[in-house]
Homo-oligomer: A and B are copies of this chain.
Amino acid sequence: MSLPVSPLAPASFPELPPVPGVRIATGAAGLRYKNRDDLLLIEVPEGTIVAGAFTRSLCPSAPVDWCRDNLRLGAGRALVVNSGNANAFTGKQGEEAVRSVVRTVSSGLGVSPPEVFMASTGVIGEQLPVDRLNAEVALLPDALQDSGPAGWVAAAGAIRTTDTFAKGAAATADLGGAKATIVGIAKGSGMIAPDMATMLSFVFTDAALSADVAQSLLSQSVTSTYNRITVDSDTSTSDTVLWFATGSLANDPIASIDDPRVPALRAALDRVNLDLAHQIVRDGEGATKFVEVTVTSAESDEAASTIALAIANSPLVKTALAAEDANWGRIVMAVGKAGQRADRDALSIWIGDEQCAEGGMVRPGYSEAAATEHLKQPEVRIRADVGVGQGHATVWTCDLTHGYIDINAGYRS
């Protein structure tokens, strides 16, 4: 099945700079997709530290188990990724498949197996064709090239499944005179929900920092980026975010979260992750609207997030947005079902800049025409003020259309 590119896609893939010492190769094992790459190998230099965040699914894939274990070292030398098969729910045979592919990489690069990270994305419950995969993976070390615009495009393309466009982002951070580069690639378009989904994201920087600082920054960043997006409320077995910091910038290493250079690094990391997260929503299966949902005056930020996600995940809200129907009653419904404290009689709701409701009922002078006009745009905003406290949160989602049904009723065909 070949899908048209999402109408919400960026105009083009960004020109992503090299990250010194990071080398890229892609290949085609033909696991599921024909006439395209479905394998990615990335080599990082000695001394690279690695941080990670993973799905909270209680049925994680074999590669997720493998990466979680490896992460205790806080260091790594390589990443191998395949698309088309998630190697999830594949039992002991699945674990052995990871070890086998990892061995192929480790002997090809001359590194130890625990230094090799792996991610797989695609159909759940089918065994990886290990021999076919290994035959192709074995060719990749000789094909490695320095990272740069062309390499990043190829890498972002190889990890796609139902994605209709490749996803990349970059930012720089001034670390007291040394300019750090951060580059990320990601994939994901369905089975997307907080705590991530069939979402893979790999981020690289040349900054030198400790494993603890890297893990702390990444964990916080995930909370406000990947964990704030939802396409269909479904959570995958395979979600993986890995951050590789090579240290090749040779800055004085950042060893404490209180280092004055941390805010700049954090801001750049968050910018890359939020950009990638938004691109995933923009590629939401069947999406025609990019939707920002903000909840204010909740009991806490967490309560605000729960309410915002109840709105963002509501099929009735999402179908109304698809129809450009300013049916704000469905937003009231979603606030009511979220299970968090809200004052019905103080509740206010906006669609774009048009306030629909205030004080528990329709606002006198509310213009449905103005709200509808806003909903005709490809990017729409909803806000609910629930009138009980200071908590606020913003989440991003897309609408629910016939396209979603088409894609998901046909995915395995």
Contacts and interface: CB of A to CB of B under 8 A. Distances in A.
Contact of A316 (B232, B327, B344): B232
A124 B404 contact: no
Interface stretch (A6-14, A167-175, A357-365): A357-365
Nearest to A342: B58
Contacts of A60: 336, 344
Contacts of A316: 190-191, 232, 234, 408
Contact of A319 (B237, B340, B409): B409
A31 to B, nearest CB: 15
A342 B233 contact: no
A411 B327 contact: yes
A80 to B, nearest CB: 22
A332 interface: yes
Interface of A: 55-60, 86, 88-94, 123-127, 190-191, 193, 195, 232-237, 313-316, 319-320, 322-323, 325, 327-330, 332-342, 344-345, 347, 356-357, 359-362, 400-402, 404-405, 408-413
A92 B402 CA distance: 39
Contact of A320 (B345, B402, B409): B409
Q: Tell me if A's interface is mostly helix, strand, loop or mixed.
A: loop
Contacts of A340: 58
24 contacts: A55-B336, A57-B337, A59-B342, A60-B344, A88-B329, A88-B332, A94-B361, A124-B330, A125-B329, A125-B332, A127-B361, A127-B362, A193-B337, A233-B314, A234-B334, A315-B404, A319-B405, A319-B409, A320-B408, A320-B409, A325-B409, A401-B405, A402-B402, A405-B405
A404 B332 contact: no
A43 B25 CA distance: 77
Contacts of A93: 361
Nearest to A234: B316
Contact of A89 (B88, B195, B357, B410): B357
Contacts of A234: 314-316, 330, 333-334, 337
A124 B91 contact: no
Nearest to A93: B361
